[in-house]
A and B are shown apart, each in its own frame.
Chain A
Amino acid sequence: MTLLHFELLGAALFCLGLYGALARRSAVLVLMSIELMLNGVNVLLVAFAAYGVRDNATGLVIAIFVITIAAAEVALAMAIVLRLFRSRGSVNVDEIDALRG
């Protein structure tokens, strides 16, 4: 069990999350996929910390910040989703195209 194992696992999680964020139509599912991406990054951070790529603390501290910000992000995102549902009756991201040129 080397660093490489965790690196590949983190990358896989991240890319699965990316796929979900791009391919899913429900805003809630997109949000879940983003959580997957954040988790993939967190795995990498903690792994780097444990294997001492830099020092043992930095990765951990940043991982804590990631979890913190993720919590804030979920709260805000869910508020937006609720609002969206109330005003449009749907949370499908492919129906939200107000920015179309």
Chain B
Amino acid sequence: MEWAWLIPVFGFAAFGVIALGGNALPWRGRYLSILAIGAGFALFWFVLLDFIERGGGFHRFGVDWFETGGVTVAWGIIIDPLTVTMLALVTFVALAVQVYSLGYMAGDKRIGWYYAVHSLFAAAMLTLVLADNLLLLYFAWELVGLCSYLLIGFWHERRSAAEAAKKAFVTTRIGDVGLLIGIILLVVHTGTFDITEILARATNPAPGEELSNALITGTALLLFLGAMGKSAQFPLHVWLPDAMEGPSPVSALIHAATMVAAGVFLVARMLPLFEASGAALEVVAVVGLVTGLVGATLALTSTDLKRILAYSTMSHLGFMMLALGAGGFTAAIFHLVAHGLAKAMLFLGAGSVMHALDNETDIRKMGGLRRVMPMTALTFTIGAAALAGIPPLSAFWSKDEMLLAVHGGLHPIYLVLFLAAIGLSALYMARAVRLAFYGPLNDAARRAHESPRVMTLPMLLLASLTLVVGFLALPLGAGYEGIGTFLLQAGEKPHPFTLNAWLTAASVVLAVGAFAGGWRLYDKRADVVASARARFAALHRALERGYYLDAGYQWVIDKVVMRAGSAVALFDRRVVNDGGVNGPGEGTVFAGRQLRRHVTGLFADYGAAMALGVLGIGIFLWARSA
């Protein structure tokens, strides 16, 4: 367990070697990267076994890095249930995705760089989940952002990919600024970067060390702003659908394990701070709920397979935030894992389809694919059903936990809207699966073929995990009493597995009903869909345009930011540049021109000046002595 810090170090080392060694390495470094993450995954098991042997709990290891002005900064790691869970998710998904990429990215001329950044991405995320202080966390946070930028824009020859990468970077940057300010405020007021100490100061302060409620709420909201950017919460979600421009395995990684999980992880890690505030928790819940609904409705009308998945991710991230807002730490992280596994598989499946159809992503041009790519269709269906909440697949269990948390922690209106969103998510999943994989075989899809085994194998692995991971919610014996007794915050009481019959029944009925209904609707009754689309044309258009958010942001950028920018640029050119920079320069030149007239090069002039100096010194000395 003391060696857990090695897990990200493998990745960093692989990045360094591949980035420097480049194409000179055997196989251009791709197996080195897989080896590194594989070693991380193996080491995770040792950490897990050690962790269980020590009876869980909360452990810290680290060394002091430097001390400045009374603030000690440490390289330190936390090993607690949250970290262990995240380690499992990140290492496993990253491993699966990297193996998959062997097939998907085969033949790409920059595959070495692809694997290098992949390693860095995973390593940064692992550092993020291990970090025991906010500085290290922020450090890793920014690295994650950088890597996502590099990978989304991996095919930067395509203008849309470059634009999408830029959009992702800038949008998350808005949140990152909030995070940075929040961290600085916390450090200034508590005098430490240490997460444990900060949380202790917020929740259980020593007398005279209390933090004001305004500070707690303010910093919690600022941290949440950072989480909103990374986890694509409304209204900072606009980068997520565009991020589809990256290679599909990258999307799988971003949506499951690394990028978007960071925001949820941050809120979970700092949850006591939010709970100490109360108001901040409420904001988290509201934003989560809105995101969940917005994402689900957008997914319903999109015709791009990867975009449907992206909006679905957004919606599910909203659910997690909602659960966190309700205080459901366990439920949210459980769902993060369940969703991560399923969504990674879905993206790998989407990638497999694109691989077969020359990068086609429009589901209207697919159809009947299960006849030509049975393995992809099978895994995709399992993933979709899991996310729709069909029992006994993974997300059913986690969704149940989240429903319990929302029921217990928030106003019933949240519960109702949450259930509606769950129904929607089953509906759009049914639609996507039906249109892409079932029904008559589309002509365009005839020449499609199943992907190589190196791609289907990771998908199968993820699918089988999706089938079983939900059962972690149940007491499995051997001392394991269900997820509610394992995945806990420090100091939280274990809550053994429970079922609220009404809630479970409602969610099952909704999920199965909506899935089956959706299936039937898109299978047999296309006319109903068409007429509904015609009746709610305005709504449909709004959904297709993503609620006009992109257009709105564009307007703000064009009319406000660009104009302010031109004004600032003008100020810079006229005042700063002409007056502030060129002014002294020209003044110096002018003074030099004037002064050089006195430099005659004549001996007599210099002699006279020297004599004048002697005269001055003489007068001075004599005047002083007199």
Q: Interface of A with B (CB < 8 Å)?
A: 18, 21-23, 30, 93-94, 96-101
Q: Check B604 against A97 for contact (C-beta < 8 Å).
A: no
A21 to B608, CA, bound (A): 9
Q: Interface of B with A (CB < 8 Å)?
A: 595-596, 599-604, 607-608, 611
Q: Which residue of A lies closest to B593 (CB)?
A: A101
The distance from the CB of B511 to the nearest CB of chain A, in whole angstroms, is 88
A18 to B610, CA, bound (A): 11
Q: Check A22 against B611 for contact (C-beta < 8 Å).
A: yes
With beta carbons under 8 angstroms apart, the residue of A21, A23, A98 that contacts B601 is: A98
Q: Check B602 against A97 for contact (C-beta < 8 Å).
A: yes
- Our count of residue pairs bridging A and B at CB distance below 8 angstroms stands at 31
A30 to B607, CA, bound (A): 11
Which residues of B are found within 8 Å of A94, using beta-carbon distances? 602, 604
Interface centre among B596, B602, B608 (most CB of A within 10 A): B602
Question: Closest 6 CB pairs between A and B?
Answer: A101-B599, A100-B601, A97-B601, A99-B601, A101-B596, A93-B603
Q: Check A22 against B608 for contact (C-beta < 8 Å).
A: yes
Which residues of A are found within 8 Å of B608, using beta-carbon distances? 22
Which residues of A are found within 8 Å of B596, using beta-carbon distances? 101
Q: Check A22 against B604 for contact (C-beta < 8 Å).
A: yes
A62 to B596, CA, bound (A): 40
The distance from the CB of A16 to the nearest CB of chain B, in whole angstroms, is 13
Which residues of A are found within 8 Å of B599, using beta-carbon distances? 99-101
Some 28 contacts from A to B, beta carbons below 8 A apart, are A18-B611, A21-B604, A21-B607, A22-B604, A22-B607, A22-B608, A22-B611, A23-B604, A30-B603, A93-B602, A93-B603, A93-B604, A94-B602, A96-B601, A96-B602, A96-B603, A97-B601, A98-B601, A99-B599, A99-B601, A100-B599, A100-B600, A100-B601, A100-B602, A101-B595, A101-B596, A101-B599, A101-B601
A96 to B601, CA, bound (A): 7
The distance from the CB of B177 to the nearest CB of chain A, in whole angstroms, is 52
Q: Which residue of B lies closest to A100 (CB)?
A: B601
Which residues of B are found within 8 Å of A22, using beta-carbon distances? 604, 607-608, 611
The distance from the CB of A86 to the nearest CB of chain B, in whole angstroms, is 19
The distance from the CB of B445 to the nearest CB of chain A, in whole angstroms, is 82
Which residues of B are found within 8 Å of A100, using beta-carbon distances? 599-602
The distance from the CB of A55 to the nearest CB of chain B, in whole angstroms, is 23
A69 to B602, CA, bound (A): 25
The distance from the CB of A96 to the nearest CB of chain B, in whole angstroms, is 7
The distance from the CB of B443 to the nearest CB of chain A, in whole angstroms, is 85
Q: Which residue of A lies closest to B596 (CB)?
A: A101
Which residues of B are found within 8 Å of A30, using beta-carbon distances? 603
Q: Which residue of B lies closest to A94 (CB)?
A: B602
Q: Which residue of A lies closest to B604 (CB)?
A: A22
A18 to B618, CA, bound (A): 15
* Seed contacts A96-B603, A97-B601; 10 additional CB < 8 Å A-B pairs: A21-B607, A22-B604, A93-B604, A94-B604, A99-B599, A99-B601, A100-B599, A100-B600, A101-B599, A101-B601
